[in-house]
Amino acid sequence: MNFAAIVHDIAEALRPQAGQQGHVATYIPALARVPADRFGIALHTVDGIEAGAGDCDMAFSIQSVSKVFSLTMSLQAIGDALWQRVGREPSGNPFNSLVQLESEHGKPRNPFINAGAIVVADVLLGLGRTSADLVAMLSDLCGEAVDIDEEVAASEAETGFRNRALANFMKSFGGIENDIAAVLDLYFRQCSIRMNCRQLARAAGYLCSDGAHPLSSRGGARPALVNERLTRRVNALMLTCGTYDMAGEFAYRIGLPCKSGVGGGIIAVVPDRLTLAVWSPALDESGNSWLGMKALEMFVARTGLSVF
Q: Which residues are catalytic?
A: 64, 67, 187, 244, 262
Q: Which residue from 46, 30, 55, 29 is spatially nearest to 278, judged by alpha carbons?
A: 55
Can you list the positions of beta strands (E) in 37-76? 40-45, 50-54, 60-61
Instruction: State the DSSP code for 110.
Output: -
Answer yes or no whether residue 95 interacts with ligand GLN by CB under 6 A: yes
- Distance from C-alpha of 308 to C-alpha of 294, rounded to nearest angstrom: 19
**Member of 149, 156, 185, 245 binding ligand GLN (CB under 6 A):** 156
Rank residues 70 and 217 by Cβ distance to ligand GLN and give the closer one: 70
Q: Which residue from 49, 64, 55, 66 is spatially nearest to 196, judged by alpha carbons?
A: 55
Q: CB nearest ligand GLN: which residue?
A: 64
Contact indicator for 206, 231 with CB cutoff of 8 Å? yes
Answer yes or no whether residue 217 interacts with ligand GLN by CB under 6 A: no
**Member of 45, 63, 70, 91 binding ligand GLN (CB under 6 A):** 63
Q: How far is the CB of 164 from ligand GLN (least distance, A)?
A: 10
**Binders in 226-265 for ligand GLN, by CB under 6 A:** 261-262
According to DSSP, the residues that pair with 125 across neighbouring strands are none
**N-term to C-term CA, the chain:** 19
**Member of 163, 199, 209, 217 binding ligand GLN (CB under 6 A):** 163
**Member of 64, 196, 216, 231 binding ligand GLN (CB under 6 A):** 64
Interacting residues toward ligand GLN by CB under 6 A: 63-64, 95-96, 114, 156, 163, 191, 261-262, 287
